[in-house]
Structure 1
Amino acid sequence: MKLGIVYNNFLSPKFAGGGAEHAYEVVKRLTKYFKIVYYPSSPVFIWDKEVLIEKAKEVEREGIKITPEFYSILEEQNKFRIRGIKRFLLSDKIAKEVSKRYSVDVDFLYEPDHTSFDIFYLGKSTKFGLTLHLPLFYNNSIKYLRRLVKFYKFNPYTGKGFYTRFLYNELYSKPKYKRLLKKYKPSFIAAVSKGPLEESGITGEVLFPGNAFDPELLKYRNRGKEDYVVFWSRLNQDKGIHEIPDILKRIQAKLSKRVKLVLMGRFFDKYNEKLFWKKVKKYGLNVEYLGFVPREKLYDVVSRAKLFIYPTHIDGFSLVVLEALALGTPVVAYGIPAIRSVYYGLKAVKIVEEFDQEDMSRKAYEILSLNEKDMDEIINEPKLLDFLKLHSSWDNVANSVRDVIMKYAS
């Protein structure tokens, strides 16, 4: 069976996040079951031609054949190489134009990490499916607005805030996708957890397992804990960066002592960074900022932490929670749909209602008060070890994707 892959980030010049990692690891393995033809989607054409050619060679070395038309489109790349607000305004038109230049000759089309409109236009005359790592849109407008007001707020330096995201969802994303889904109905929509489907208000398949971690992480487990908590992710409002100092302050009040936070990652912008450090100084908190660190260093730091504090508001699965568990570190997180659907029921993951800083600090206090024996019990719980075994192989994820494709391709 010939399977067409529609995607952009295989050719990205830099690491494009967890969705791109999922897509690469899965499609690489799908070459064992299907004859793969890769149709690079329209967003790739913003990158330098030389970079695209070099990345294309890397992809083909993995057994992922790129359709010849891609190289023809590269010759007229300047037509599609548009950036900034103009790119946003013309993204649909560019996707249509690029799609017209591909001759689709496969049995089924699949997008492993939905990032552009191309899959809908390429799938006009071919069965197709796609996997969501984040919601297509937020279906419950009032709930979404209330959440945005609480965590996204307003950036006076950029003029952007909760209202820009809300208007994007209401005036563009939601109506656009509802039209596309009606006009070009996919054979299936899958997701890496129930979260993206639930928040989009659509039904679909849930991949199980939806993601995996590198089994090398397991060697860092059970090396002993040091007296600090950790946070690492994108350092922005989506991940609750502004709330961390408030939560840390509450934890300290309960423990009656200072708590050290080790922080890793890059701040999204100077405004968010300034706000974070202003709170840290105001509360007199002990924060060690390591910035962006090599993976080996990150794994070592996380594995020795007593707790990973994760007040996230936007996630489709949360690889950082999975990696923390693999490294033997308990987690306390907001119970957004993705977190609940993947991690509910594990003793090492304490889930609280979104925005409930008091309950988060209470659950954190409980974990930080555990003795060594009790800590060992929750991070080596049989249910958690079974969960980690299932999620420690990308083969398992690829098999779940293959099964969904075969279900709808026949």
Structure 2
Amino acid sequence: MIKLGIVYDNLLSPTFAGGGFVHSFEVVTRLKKDFDIIYFPSSKVLRWDKDKVKEKVKELERQGIKVSQDFYSLLDKVKEKPSLFNSEKLSKTFASAYDVSNIDFLYEPDHTSFDIFYLGGKLKKFGLAIHEPLFYNNSFEYLKRLMKFYGINPYTGKGFYTRFLYNLLFSKRIHLRLLKKYKPTFIASVSKGSLEISGINGEVIYPGNAFDPELLKYRGKGKEDYVVFWSRLNQDKGIRELPDILKIINSTKRTKLVLMGKFFDKYNEKKFWKKVKKYNLDVEYLGFVERKKLYEIVSKAKLFIYPTHVDGFSLVVLEALALGTPVVAYDIPAIRTVYSDLSAVKIVKEFDIEGIAKESLKILGMKESEIIDLMNEEKLLYFLKIHSSWNNVAESVKKILLKYIQQTNY
């Protein structure tokens, strides 16, 4: 059996680590049927309490994922915690300590650290998957966009310039150097959009993600007169524009927003509620919501308004569609390349709040029977069928891996 080394950190995260983690866990636990998996935790695990990490290691091994024996001595030996200034150093330390001589191929299912390059450089046979852009290749265009949606936080001193400099001087600069020095056998992405933004060629994992088929049971149980938003409540996801969009909608049709999630910082939270009060908007804020309740709320909403600026695939859009709720969003690459063929996802030019309000009003003006018809179009139902099983995602990853493993063996 082919020995596949998995390089990653978040399988050992003591808390929920986002959509990339879900993808990685679901895929890796399925790949173990076809590969002899050896897990090489990356240096970012040093962020967490070592005792908790060791507990997660035992839990993972009980699930049949073997962890490299070299990791235990590394965990006790290295005392530093990862930071912007020592991340490369720690990646090199981990790479030098791991023995990969008996591994056939290395793979990182969700690129989060530089370790895959240094470890893969030893083996010269490795691939990685990205869930968001590796970096923003067009720096000038990225800066223009950041200035529009990211702004400046006067309390922290951080703003569009810190995000821009991070990309230009850290992420882009280092990745371009590593890509040249340790060229991956392949790069894959959960959407074509992330490859576009990074300016790199690669494989597209299709389907790139999946939802729990349990969500389909919530479809068709009636719509109520409100719109919904749930995600991380920060400027990346368009929380700053949301009140302005609702203001335009309310000039034609009084609409209630049900808001779920956690605000990223106090400054943006304060600005959001100031606008809500100024525009006299009807907003019900529920904070973090238990999953079953969230599914019920989203399934009964007439619309999910999602003015996101940063996404690699958008699981929330996928879940909204599975729950039978149409979506209006900006035409960022990830949304466009994954969802543009679906009538239930209306896509407008980024930053066009009047356009997003106009499309929202069209849906809000529909009869419930018309929304049901929209959410049961043949193309959408086929899309949901493909994306309703992690087996399909794992099979797509498996095909990519086998394609390149076979090539490297010649």
| Coarse TM-score class (shorter-chain normalised) | over 0.9
1:166 and 1:76 map into 2 onto residues whose CA distance is 35
Alignment partner for residue 209 of structure 1, among 204, 207, 210? Answer: 207
1:44 and 1:237 map into 2 onto residues whose CA distance is 28
Shift of 1:279: 0.4
- Correspondences of 1:42-121 after superposition (within 5 Å): 42-78=43-79, 80-82=80-82, 87-104=83-100, 105-121=102-118
1:135 and 1:388 map into 2 onto residues whose CA distance is 25
Report the counterpart of residue 189 of structure 2 in structure 1. 191
Cα deviation 1:265-315 (Å, max 9, x = unaligned): 000010110010000000000000000011111111000000000000000
Report the counterpart of residue 129 of structure 1 in structure 2. 127
Report the counterpart of residue 224 of structure 1 in structure 2. 222
Cα deviation 1:171-195 (Å, max 9, x = unaligned): 1211111110000000000000011
> What SS is found at the alignment partner of 2:313?
coil
Shift of 1:169: 1.2
TM-score scaled to structure 2, two decimals?
A: 0.97
In structure 2, the gaps of 5 or more residues are: none
1:389 and 1:329 map into 2 onto residues whose CA distance is 16
Alignment partner for residue 272 of structure 1, among 268, 276, 300? Answer: 268
Q: Identity of counterpart residues, as a percentage? A: 67
Shift of 1:125: 2.8
Structure 1 range deviating more: 385-394 or 369-378: 369-378
Tell me the amino acid that sits aligned with residue 161 of structure 1: G
Report the counterpart of residue 18 of structure 1 in structure 2. 19
1:46 and 1:389 map into 2 onto residues whose CA distance is 38
1:139 and 1:343 map into 2 onto residues whose CA distance is 23
Alignment partner for residue 394 of structure 2, among 375, 398, 405? Answer: 398
Cα deviation 1:330-388 (Å, max 9, x = unaligned): 00000100000000121110000100001100000000000122111101111100000
Find runs of 4+ consecutive structure 1 residues off by over 2 angstroms: none
> What SS is found at the alignment partner of 2:122?
coil
2:295 and 2:368 map into 1 onto residues whose CA distance is 20
- The answer as to 2:349 corresponding to 1:366 is no
Alignment partner for residue 145 of structure 2, among 136, 147, 166? Answer: 147
Cα deviation 1:65-98 (Å, max 9, x = unaligned): 00101111122142x335xxxx111111111111
1:155 and 1:49 map into 2 onto residues whose CA distance is 34
In structure 1, the gaps of 5 or more residues are: none
Tell me the amino acid that sits aligned with residue 108 of structure 1: F
Shift of 1:158: 0.5
Tell me the amino acid that sits aligned with residue 215 of structure 1: P
> What SS is found at the alignment partner of 2:251?
helix
Report the counterpart of residue 296 of structure 2 in structure 1. 300
Cα deviation 1:122-166 (Å, max 9, x = unaligned): 011320000000111101111101100000010000100001111
Alignment partner for residue 170 of structure 2, among 169, 172, 181? Answer: 172
Tell me the amino acid that sits aligned with residue 30 of structure 2: R
Shift of 1:254: 2.5
1:89 and 1:295 map into 2 onto residues whose CA distance is 38
Number of corresponding residues: 403
Tell me the amino acid that sits aligned with residue 31 of structure 2: L
Cα deviation 1:3-61 (Å, max 9, x = unaligned): 00000000001000000000000000000110000000000012111101111111112
> What SS is found at the alignment partner of 2:99?
coil
2:222 and 2:369 map into 1 onto residues whose CA distance is 11
Tell me the amino acid that sits aligned with residue 309 of structure 1: I
> What SS is found at the alignment partner of 1:75?
helix
Report the counterpart of residue 179 of structure 2 in structure 1. 181
1:81 and 1:136 map into 2 onto residues whose CA distance is 23
RMSD: 0.8
Tell me the amino acid that sits aligned with residue 270 of structure 2: K
Structure 1 range deviating more: 185-194 or 96-105: 96-105
Tell me the amino acid that sits aligned with residue 210 of structure 2: A
> What SS is found at the alignment partner of 1:123?
helix
Report the counterpart of residue 161 of structure 2 in structure 1. 163
Cα deviation 1:185-227 (Å, max 9, x = unaligned): 0000000001110000000000000000000000000000001
1:405 and 1:143 map into 2 onto residues whose CA distance is 34
Structure 1 range deviating more: 170-179 or 229-238: 170-179
Report the counterpart of residue 329 of structure 1 in structure 2. 325
1:162 and 1:30 map into 2 onto residues whose CA distance is 40
1:139 and 1:81 map into 2 onto residues whose CA distance is 29
1:234 and 1:224 map into 2 onto residues whose CA distance is 27
